[in-house]
């Protein structure tokens, strides 16, 4: 079985993203999420932001324990004025999904299993 232990995401808005991450993302202590400036800032494209139509990442998804955890996430996102969608019931997959975007425009999903 493969276990993800780290996600390193170069950010075009490192200051905004560094502020966003600790106040908006949830953690269970078993995954390192590192939001860093580009490896070579001189080669970074000025004003660039994420676009799902490019090769590479489309979105990231994190699992939480229950629908109540999604409700708590909404409260946290609202507290920090982070826009988000409603909780969506994806019945074919037996999960609930809450989506929002980080400062670089990457869609972040929190999912909770039925039950």
Q: 18-42: per-residue pLDDT in tens?
A: 566 554 454 556 666 666 667 787 8
Task: Give me the half-sphere count of Cα atoms (radius 13 Å) on the Cβ side of residue 80.
Answer: 18
Is residue 49 one of the residues assigned to a domain? Answer: no
Count of the separate structural domains present in the chain: 1
Does residue 51 belong to any structural domain of this protein?
Answer: no
Q: What confidence tens digit (pLDDT) does each residue in 72-100 have?
A: 999 989 988 889 999 999 999 999 999 99
**Are β-strands 107-113 and 95-101 bridged in parallel, bridged antiparallel, or unpaired?**
antiparallel
Q: How far is CA 98 from CA 22, 69, 70, 80, in A?
A: 18, 10, 7, 16
CA distance 2 to 66: 23
Is residue 10 assigned to a domain?
yes
Is residue 46 a part of any domain in this protein? no
Q: How far apart are CA 30 and CA 56, in angstroms?
A: 24
* Average pLDDT along the chain: 78
- Domain with residue 68: its CATH number is 3.10.180.10
């Amino acid at each position: 079985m493969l276990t993800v232990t780290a996600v390193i995401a170069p950010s075009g808005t490192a200051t905004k993203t560094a502020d966003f991450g600790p106040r908006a993302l949830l953690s269970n202590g078993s995954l390192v999420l590192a939001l860093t400036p580009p490896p070579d800032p001189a080669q970074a494209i000025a004003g660039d932001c994420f676009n799902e139509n490019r090769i590479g990442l489309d979105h990231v998804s994190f699992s939480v324990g229950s629908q109540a955890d999604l409700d708590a996430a909404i409260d946290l996102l609202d507290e920090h004025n982070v826009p988000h969608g409603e909780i969506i019931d994806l019945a074919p997959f037996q999960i609930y999904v809450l989506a929002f975007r980080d400062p670089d425009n990457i869609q972040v999903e929190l999912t909770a299993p039925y039950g």
